Amino acid sequence: MTVMEPFGARLRRVMDERGPLCVGIDPHAALLSSWGLNDDIKGLETFTRACVDALADTVAVVKPQMAFFERFGSRGVAVLERAVADLRAAGTLVVMDAKRGDIGSTMAAYAETFLHKDSPLFSDALTVSPYLGYGSLKPAVDLARESGAGLFVLALTSNPEGGEVQHAVRADGRNVGATMLAHLAQENAGEHPMGSFGAVVGATLGDLSSYELDINGPLLAPGIGAQGATAADLPSVFGSAVRNVVPNVSRGVLKAGPSVAALRDASVRFADEVREAVAGA
C-alpha cells in the first residue's frame, strides 16, 4: 500500500494555504427543505453536489456526517463515495464524521472502511469514540499510521450530555477527557510540523486552561456559528494551542445554499474570520 505524507503534515499545509476551517456537510431533512429540496436521494445528490462544487477548491477541510448519507441506504453511501473522491481530488482534506468505536476485529473493520487506501470511502481522517477504552482504537491508530491518515478522538465534546463521561474522575485524579488528550500527546510525540492524531474539543466550552491542549496534533472544534461560538472566542478557549485548532462550521455555511457562489462566499468569510483571530492570538 502506497503511504501518503502523514495527515498532520498535509493538514498543516492546507490550513496555512486556505485558512484553518472545516465545513461540515450535514444533509438533514430540515436543511434539504430549506434549500427547496425533497428529502430523498435526488435531493441528497443535488445538495451534496452543490457543497462539493462550492467547497472543493476553497476550504481546507470538509467533514461529511456519515449518518445523513447512510439513512438513504446504499444509494446514499454511493453519493458520499463520489463526494469524498471529488473533494480529495481537489486537494480538500476529508474528515469522515462517523464516530466509530468498538473492539477487536470490529474496530479493525471500521478502520478498513475509512482508512484503507483501497476503500471507496477512504478519508484523510476519521472521527472515533474511545469510550470502550483508548486501547480499543489500536486497529484504527495502526492503519492510520500505515496509510498516512489521521484520527480525531472524542475528548471534550460540546454536547452537555458528554460531561457525565468525559468529566468523570479516574482513580489517578485525572478526568477521562484529560486522559484522552494525554494518550493523543503520546501518539504525536516527536512529529513535525504536527502529529496526525487529533482531539474533538468543543469551541463552546469556555475556559479550558486546566487541560493540556498542546498535544502536538490538531483540535477539531465544533460550535462555531449556529451553536453560538465565534472565531473571536478561539484564542481564549484554546490558548497556546489555538494555531492547531480546526474550527468546524456546518449550518453557518450551509444556510447560505443552495447557491454555490453564496456557499463559497460564506465559507471564505468564516475562514478569514478564523485566520484573523488566530493571527492575533
Q: What is the DSSP string of 209-257?
A: TTS----SS-EEEE-BSTTSB-GGGHHHHHGGGGGGEEEEESHHHHTTT
Report the DSSP beta bridge partners of residue 247: 221
Residues 6+ apart with CB under 8 A from 161: none
Alpha helix ranges (H) inside the chain: 7-18, 29-34, 41-55, 66-70, 73-89, 104-115, 138-147, 163-166, 176-187, 234-238, 251-254, 260-279
Report the DSSP beta bridge partners of residue 128: 100, 153
C-alpha–C-alpha distance, residues 162 and 205, integer Å:
11
The CA distances from residue 137 to 36, 55, 133, 162, 193, in Å, are: 41, 30, 8, 19, 24
**Catalytic option among 63, 99, 117, 255:** 99
Residue 99 designated active-site: yes
Report the DSSP beta bridge partners of residue 107: none
Which residues participate in catalysis according to the annotation? 99
